[in-house]
Amino acid sequence: MSTMAADYEKTDIGTIQIAPEVIEVIAGLATVEVDGVAGMSGGLAGGIAELLGRKNLSKGVKVEVGQREAAVDVSIIVEYGNPIPEVASEIQRNVKRSIEMMTGLSVVEVNVHIHDVYFKTAEKPEEEDTSIRVK
């Protein structure tokens, strides 16, 4: 799905335009709020941005925006042990609600793509250093 700039909305005192990147960030934040989402699954560009120290809030999100409607695709990594259909349904509800509330756009579809499963590993407690250091 491609990202397209929305047409301007004209008001009595000017115009309003919401950039597609804003909708991507809203969708990304609404997605990671859902229990069972371990993270977003983005492409190479998102990984490079994170390596450079920038948090990419739209990682794993693609939107198509018209004048009054939006369609969203999110790609996620789900935490092992969570029912995937329930997590995906909650993502759809949360993304739709967040975008419609914040932008006034009608969300016509939210497609959820599961790209991986995250397994939590039991962390080994660090052993205490009992050796005596002499200067």
- Residue 32 belongs to what domain range? 16-118
**Residue given tokens 């999100």 in the structure block:** 61
> Could you tell me if residue 6 is inside a domain?
no
90-108: average pLDDT: 97
Contact between 107 and 100 (Cβ < 8 Å): yes
Helical H runs in the chain?
20-32, 44-51, 84-103
Q: How many domains does the chain have?
A: 1
> Could you tell me if residue 7 is inside a domain?
no
Q: Which of 34, 46, 20 is nearest to 99 (CA)?
A: 20
> Could you tell me if residue 97 is inside a domain?
yes
> Could you tell me if residue 8 is inside a domain?
no
pLDDT, tens digit, for every residue of 51-78? 444 467 788 999 999 888 999 999 999 9
Q: Is the pLDDT of residue 87 over 90?
A: yes
Sign of torsion over alpha carbons 78, 33, 59, 9: positive
Q: Is the pLDDT of residue 1 over 60?
A: no
pTM above 0.85, yes or no: no
CATH number of 65's domain: 3.30.70.1350
